[in-house]
Structure formats: C-alpha cells, structure tokens
Structure 1
Amino acid sequence: MSSQSTLLLKKQLKELTKNPVEGFSAGLVDDDNIFEWEIVIMGPQDTLYEGGFFKATMTFPVDYPLMPPKLKFVTAMYHPNVYPSGEVCISILHPPGEDKYGYEQASERWTPVHTVETILVSVISMLSSPNDESPANIEAAKEWRENYPSFKKKVQRIARRSAEEF
C-alpha cells in the first residue's frame, strides 16, 4: 500500500505546485519524506483570522488514502474545532465508517476521494464558520458562544502575531 500512497501523494503535490489554490500553500517538510507536509493557511478574508498566516503539518498514514491524514497547527490557534495541542478536529479527518458516538454520519467522515486540496478547503471553511456543537477546544467554543467580543479579540491577536512571525 505504501508505494500506492507515495505515488498518490506525489501526484497531489505536483498538482498543487502546478495549480496553486487560493488560501493555502503546501510543500514537503523534508524532500525525502512524502508523508509529512508543511502547510500555510492564509486567514480567510472577512473572518477573524484574516491577515494571519497559520503554519501546520499534515501527516499521512502509510495506508493513505484509505485512512485520513492528521492536520496539526504549529502556529498558535484558538478555535472551537482545534484542540489546544493544535490538532484539527473536523469530520472529514475522522476515520471512515460509523461514528461510535452517533454524532456524525459515515458520509460526513473520511472517504478516499478526499485530497489535500479538499481537506484544506474544509479547514478554511472551518475557520470561517466553527462548529461549536462538537468542540475540540471547549474553552474556545464556550467563549465563542458566551463572550464573542473576548473570543474575537483573542483570535485577532493570534492572527496579528502569526503575520509578524511569518
């Protein structure tokens, strides 16, 4: 499986290099390891994250695309769907099949048709509209719901810092 994964990832990287997608850039952390990518997500326009440059790593399992990669922000991130550790929690990055908690339908979870591009477009969408019903960061979700001005201030500070550090 690993050689098929390698070929698919090389193809996706080549496609993204040839036809960049607005809102993010992607490349390898190390040219000798196709399974670990460095991602930069530009804070989407008209969101609290606008103007920010958020670095992340995307780590692919050897059985990709049967199983999803993990996406983790390296840059500080405050968002209801991002664990305090930086790991992104969205449905399409959850393993395929039924959700044992019954929250997500199998159709919302990982399927092999997803690509790096579809994942990152979903993450950009997540930044625009958080899902606070199933939070990874409970504190951020609570603040988003109960004290939006404070949430907004924290996020804008993080976005500003990320741009200065970039």
Structure 2
Amino acid sequence: MGSQKRIAKELAELTESPPAGIMVELADEANLYEWKVHMEGPEKSPFHKGKFLVKLSLPTEYPFKPPTVSFATKIYHPNVTNDEKGSMCLGMLRADEWKPSSKISAVLQFARQLLAEPMPDDAVEGRIAEQYRNDRSRYEEVAREWTRKHAC
C-alpha cells in the first residue's frame, strides 16, 4: 500500500530530525494514520512557553487527500475553533488547495507559524479575529492567559 509506505517514511523523517518546536509520535503504535504532535508555542508569540497537543489524522487516501489538524489543548486563536474539536483552519489543508507533494512536516511547520502569525482573514473564530485586528494587546493577554491555564 503506497500511502502506508509514504506515511511511515515521513514519520521516520520527522522522528529523526523534527522541525523546531515540534515532536511527533503515533497516538497508537498499531495505527499509522493517527499522530500525536507536541508543539511548543513559538517565541515572540503569546503562546511562548506553552506546549500544545495537536492531533493529526491522515486519510487512507493520503497523500491525495489532506490530513486534518486539530488542537487537543485549548487555545485562544482566530484560526482554531474554540470548541472541544479544536479544528484548525489551514488554507493548504483545504481539498482544493492540497497538493499530494506536500509533506506533513510542512503542514506542522505552517501550523506552528500560524501561532506566531494568525491569519484573521481566514478565521474560524470571528470574534477573536476581530479582537486580534482591533485590540492586539488584549488578544495577546487572553492568549497568554489561556496558554498558562491549558498548555503544559
């Protein structure tokens, strides 16, 4: 099966030389399609010093269909839903924008970069995006508070 081979290869690469601030493991050794990602909040962001658990689910049609990325750790961010799902809105993960040549490491680096530089025009939480645009210091204050409260 091509997808399993590719996933195993990408997992090995990510385990051996993970991108900065990102650590990857299988959620269950018997299932290549569910990953647990430990992501550190980037420096100079209100999430700095926080460690977030991110779930990455790969479809069986990977790499022809994109993975889904969601935050298991609650996070105050315009591009992550504020519910128990913690779904992350990433342009590159939309079915119409996904490219089979994209790699999981790029997805994770993009997700971490989004913590440092939210995209309020692509928000799933309109109220937070509004606050990010109009009252940045309050946004950062609340984001830091949530990070202290929820991220280990």
TM range (shorter): over 0.9
Please state whether the residue corresponding to 1:38 is helix, strand or coil.
strand
Give 3-state SS (helix, strand or coil) of 1:35's partner. strand
Per the normalisation by structure 2, the TM-score is 0.93
Letter in 1 for 2:115: L
The alignment partner of 1:6 has SS state of helix
Counterpart residue number, 1:84: 82
Percent identity of paired positions between Structure 1 and Structure 2? 27
Which 5+ residue runs of structure 2 have no aligned equivalent? none
RMSD: 1.2
Question: How far did 1:46 drift?
Answer: 1.0
TM-score, normalised by the number of residues in structure 1: 0.86
- 5+ residue gaps, structure 1, are 97-108
Give the ranges of 4+ consecutive aligned residues of structure 1 lying more than 6 Å apart after TM superposition.
none
Alpha-carbon distance, 1:133 to partner: 1.2
Provide the rounded CA distance (Å) in 1 between the counterparts of 2:150 and 2:26. Answer: 20
1:118 corresponds to 2:106? yes
Q: After superposition, where does 1:6-155 map in structure 2 within 5 Å?
A: 6-85=4-83, 86-96=86-96, 109-155=97-143
Number of residue-to-residue matches in the alignment: 150
Structure with bigger strand share is 2
Q: Secondary structure at the match of 1:124?
A: helix
Contact 1:53 1:162 in 2 (8 A): no
Deviation at 1:61, TM superposition (A): 0.5
